[in-house]
Amino acid sequence: AQTVTQSQPEMSVQEAETVTLSCTYDTSESNYYLFWYKQPPSRQMILVIRQEAYKQQNATENRFSVNFQKAAKSFSLKISDSQLGDTAMYFCAFMKQIRNSGGSNYKLTFGKGTLLTVNP
């Protein structure tokens, strides 16, 4: 079974600084997808960034970037120039293709989350 581990239950950072959230995962698959989701106090899940395992280049979305280390099964999220609106719970997630009698399907597994607080 795939597992996703976020070892930092809580983190804090000063506004305008950079913070890195850790995520490791365990899988025997070679082809999969990785995601970081943000969940603000409104509880809505918002996709921050995604990475295809077959791509060596790290994904980047504005102030958000990842450090994808496939051999180490590590997928950390770096937030640059932190803003107050970045305060949220952040979830790392792993998706792989499942093959069963019904055909192909996709299963998305989440870590337990890291609560990030950006301080003014």
Partner 1 sequence: DAGITQSPRYKITETGRQVTLMCHQTWSHSYMFWYRQDLGHGLRLIYYSAAADITDKGEVPDGYVVSRSKTENFPLTLESATRSQTSVYFCASSVDRSGNTIYFGEGSWLTVV
Q: Which residues bind partner 1 (CB under 8 A)?
A: 33, 35, 37, 42-47, 50, 52, 91, 93, 95, 97-98, 100, 102-113
Q: What is the DSSP letter of 29?
A: -
Q: Which is nearer to partner 1, 93 or 118 (CB)?
A: 93
The least distance separating partner 1 from the CB of residue 105, rounded to whole angstroms, comes to 4
DSSP output for 43-62: ---EEEEEEETT--SPPEET
Q: What is the DSSP letter of 84?
A: G
Q: Which is nearer to partner 1, 33 or 64 (CB)?
A: 33
Q: Which is nearer to partner 1, 13 or 45 (CB)?
A: 45
The least distance separating partner 1 from the CB of residue 34, rounded to whole angstroms, comes to 10
The least distance separating partner 1 from the CB of residue 38, rounded to whole angstroms, comes to 11
CA distance 53 to 19: 23
CA distance 77 to 100: 32
Q: Answer for the pair 57, 15: CB distance below 8 angstroms, yes or no.
A: no
Which token pair is 120?
A: 């003014």
The least distance separating partner 1 from the CB of residue 50, rounded to whole angstroms, comes to 6
